[in-house]
Amino acid sequence: MEWEAVIGLEIHAQLATKSKIFSGASTAFGAEPNTQACAVDLALPGTLPVFNEEALRMAVKFGLAVDAEIGRKSVFDRKNYFYPDLPKGYQTSQLFHPIVGIGHIDITLEDGTTKRIGVTRAHLEEDAGKSLHDEFPGMTGIDLNRAGTPLLEIVSEPDMRSAEEAVAYVRKIHSLVTSLGICDGNMSEGSFRCDCNVSVRPKGQEEYGTRTETKNINSFRFIEKAIVGEIERQIDLIEDGGRVVQATRLYDADKNETRSMRSKEEANDYRYFPCPDLLPIVIDEDYIDAIRQTLPELPDARKARFIEEYKLSEYDAMVLSADHNMAAYFEVIAKTANDAKLAANWVMGELSKLLNQHDLDITNSPVNAEQLGGLLLRIKDDTISGKIAKQVFEVMWSEGGNADEIIESKGLKQVTDSGAIEQIVDEVIANNTPQVEQYVNAEPDKRGKMIGFFMGQVMKASQGKANPGQVQGVLKQKLDALVS
Amino acid sequence: MSLDRTDVDKIAHLARLQIEEQDAPEYAQNLSNILDLVDQMQAVDTTDVLPMAHPLDAVQRLRSDNVTEDNQRELLQSVAPAVENGLFLVPKVIE
């Protein structure tokens, strides 16, 4: 039987506010346990929440970016459950009147096609603390620094049909929230995490199959693997005569499989009701319009501009525009070197390669845009070849410095002196008699290809420093002189 | 509307309340009375009444996004039954 997967996603994006959603405690990552948990975060008796205006502004920005209905009146509700990292016994969230209503985004797939994915809603809520289960025998350690950090939970429609579509959607939302500056997008620190709802059904069937939810996946790669694995598991289960049980599952990255989680939601009855401690949030058109004016350039617009302004290919423009830091980096280089194609190749090639190897983000790149731009300038003015430039780049990466200093100190300047080049060419011709004979005796139309061997020898003899264009000319002239 | 023993047990479990066996019928009766009152209110025609989220006719005031709280861990943890390495300790919640 042919099966079809149905995928819907819930993304939790931590909003990049300085203080918490309902208290004045800091949200900075990595502090000593419980040093950023104040009386409100600890739910001590008599404390009351006061809502952070920046969290509201950020949520509205997101709503505008996904072309959504903005809730003119939104209301906080209490989601009741018991867990030690949630001191109040309820999470303050929004169920009935979320700040962001129905919207949509367009995703681009690898084959170049685009697909519209519905955003059901996005609502504000508070994050819980962290539980450490392994450090103390018989006890659980609780760190409440994260408790009360503002979250925007972004819920999609079940519009995705493959892991590829799901990952493209998550990447697009990631690109949006980071471009908007409302989330730092750091997945390894948990600032951006994803719950995947997956079900399967026979192709052509209207109604959905039973779904499972895999929670808190924090890398693009794991999202893809977890979904692929869960789809296979469900199909195998049904084909073997079993049936899918609605459950919350946990993704185990080490084993690359999902497993059923002993859930705090066994009773799954949150008894939502409007939070009496918080009044409704009311905003008007002026407020929304003012925020609309402050929206930065969004990834789709940036991609279109890159194609228009820099004449980049669709693919290059998509890769370079998705991350706003990467985009800014690229633009500096493209302008410094005055060559967008060269800049694009370097950012997507050498730079991305080293960043990936060292597991670094572009914002942590040891080589900044000015340095790389300066290097490309030296390729453009023929001071060095592209190949030598890679050597310079590696030195720049590990030792720092600008291109001119490195070229100078390592003696990498390209040899353009025609006397020097002729001398090397003569040596190569003299030392490779058999190949020269082959060349002379070959059909004229085969010679073009054979010249490559001599090119290689000359470049090697010059340690890569001879100007390739000049070498080619001198070689051809000298070899062809031997033919007649 | 009347609640039976199973309903009472479920509500108690959700609220993490331990109830004594002999008290259950009384709880069932009291809770049923509350629901009867709700039924009575449900009977009122509210067609033209807008739902409200809060009894006060006011809107939420907002706080500017500034860090105003200092680290008071020592003070705040002085009332905790068990603390280690800056963490609150609670009975283990998963096996």
Closest approach of B12 to chain A, Cα-based (Å): 12
Contact A267, A82 (CB under 8 A): no
Q: Do A143 and B65 touch (CB under 8 A)?
A: no
The per-residue pLDDT for range A278-303, each reduced to its tens digit, is 999 999 999 999 999 999 999 999 99
User: What residue in A sits closest to B77 (Cα-Cα)?
Assistant: A34
3-state secondary structure chain A: CCEEEEEEEEEEEECCCCECCCCCCECCCCCCCCCCCCCCCCCCCCCCCCEEHHHHHHHHHHHHHCCCCECCEECCEEEECCCCCCCCCEEEECCCCCCECCEEEEEECCCCCEEEEEEEEEEEEECCCEEEEEEECCEEEEECCCCCCEEEEEEECCCECCHHHHHHHHHHHHHHHHHCCCCCCCCCCCCEEEEEEEEEEECCCCCCCCCEEEEEECCHHHHHHHHHHHHHHHHHHHHCCCCCCCEEEEEECCCCEEEECCCCCCCCCCCCEECCCCCCEECCHHHHHHHHHHCCCCHHHHHHHHHHHHCCCHHHHHHHHHCHHHHHHHHHHHHHHCCHHHHHHHHHHHHHHHHHHCCCCHHHCCCCHHHHHHHHHHHHCCCCCHHHHHHHHHHHHHHCCCHHHHHHHCCCCCECCHHHHHHHHHHHHHHCHHHHHHHHHCCHHHHHHHHHHHHHHHHHHCCCCECHHHHHHHHHHHHHHHHC
Going by C-alpha positions, the residue among A276, A63, A38 that lies closest to residue A148 is A38
Cβ contacts below 8 Å, chain A against chain B, sum to: 131
Q: Do B84 and A141 touch (CB under 8 A)?
A: yes
For chain A, give every domain's residue range.
Answer: 3-288, 297-409, 418-483
Q: Do A33 and B87 touch (CB under 8 A)?
A: yes
Closest approach of B42 to chain A, Cα-based (Å): 17
The per-residue pLDDT for range A125-139, each reduced to its tens digit, is 999 999 998 888 899
Structure tokens at A251: 């993704």
CATH class label, A418-483: mainly alpha
- Residues of chain B with pLDDT below 70 are 1, 95
Query: Is B17 near chain A, with CB under 8 Å?
Result: no
Q: pTM here?
A: 0.82
Say what the pLDDT of residue A443 is: 83
Contacts of A38 in chain B (CB under 8 A): 69, 72, 76
Q: How much is the ipTM here?
A: 0.87
CA end-to-end span of chain B: 40
Amino acid A467 reads N
Q: Which residue has the higher pLDDT, A244 or A462?
A: A244
Say what the pLDDT of residue A265 is: 47
Structure tokens at A275: 């939070």
Residue among A26, A39, A139 whose CB faces B76 most closely: A39
Q: Measured between alpha carbons, how far is A161 from A173 in angstroms, rounded to an integer?
A: 17
Q: Measured between alpha carbons, how far is A413 from A423 in angstroms, rounded to an integer?
A: 18
Residue among A52, A54, A279 whose CB faces B56 most closely: A279
Of the candidate CATH numbers 2.30.30, 1.10.20, 1.20.58, 3.30.110, the domain formed by B5-42 belongs to 1.10.20
pLDDT bucket at A256, cuts 50 / 70 / 90 = confident
Interface test with B, best of A18, A34, A77, A131 (most B CBs within 10 A): A34
Say what the pLDDT of residue A264 is: 42
User: What residue in B sits closest to A84 (Cα-Cα)?
Assistant: B90
